[in-house]
Amino acid sequence: MRSASNDPTTRERIRDAAVLRFARDGFGASVRSIATDAGVSPALVIHHFGSKDELHAECDEQVLAEIRKAKNESIDELAAGQSILHRFAAADEYAPMLGYVLRSLQDGGPVGQTFIEQMIEDAVGYTKHGVEAGLVKPSHDEPARARYLVLSALGMLMLEITLRPPEDPADLGAIVREFLATSYFPMIELYTQGFFTTRRMLDEYLLYVPDPPQDTATEPASD
């Protein structure tokens, strides 16, 4: 049999090795290093995937599928308001996936983009629940707030990891946990009591722009 699509062993082993190497070293990792990890010749990698770019694309799909799976499996916890980030950080088995996502974030790749979009979408849901339950204050622009919260948290994590990269990428889970731990206090404090003592700046803004944008908030402040 040609087993045109489901010879599960070698091809998948290469793909998995690639995901790991990409997560560890970024997408500049060489085909040769991936081949070595998979115990295979560089030529075979190309033979199976056609090119490095196609291998990259297939890794993207694989990781996105794994994320979907992880989300479905922990849907109960996620419903409680925990983000997928906590879920990833909870178990070290997710470290490669997390590393891959962060690399993709640094690269501006499609995995990073859709990951962020999904997180924003989820955040909209969480805040909606929170508001309805009376735990979260309503916002004049919920999508903008959700987007702000996600981007600031994820960007901060990305920055932290870029500035102090882990010696062993397997420790990524631990690093994210440490990050969540150290960010927790200032975040909770800010979320609880705010930063300013007066409503002046907010009210002035609401006066100046009486109707907060609904779809795109991307109007530059003229000049």
Tell me the C-alpha distance between 11 and 40, whole Å: 10
Residue 25 Cβ vs DNA, minimum distance, rounded to whole Å: 9
DSSP-derived secondary structure for 94-110: GHHHHHHHHHHHHHT-H
Binding map of a copy of itself across residues 14-33, x = CB under 8 A, - = no contact: --------------------
Note whether 187 binds a copy of itself by CB under 8 A.
Answer: yes
Note whether 152 binds DNA by CB under 7 A.
Answer: no
Tell me the C-alpha distance between 65 and 63, whole Å: 5
Closest CA to 71 of 37, 109, 97: 97
Q: Is the dihedral of CA 22, 23, 28, 34 positive or negative?
A: negative
What is the token pair recorded at 4?
Answer: 């045109």
Residue 87 Cβ vs DNA, minimum distance, rounded to whole Å: 32
Residue 49 Cβ vs DNA, minimum distance, rounded to whole Å: 8
Interacting residues with a copy of itself between 49 and 108 (CB under 8 A)? 105-108
Binding map of a copy of itself across residues 118-147, x = CB under 8 A, - = no contact: ----------------xxxx-xxx--xx-x
Residue ranges that bind DNA, judged by CB under 7 A: 2-3, 7, 9-11, 29-33, 39-48, 50-53
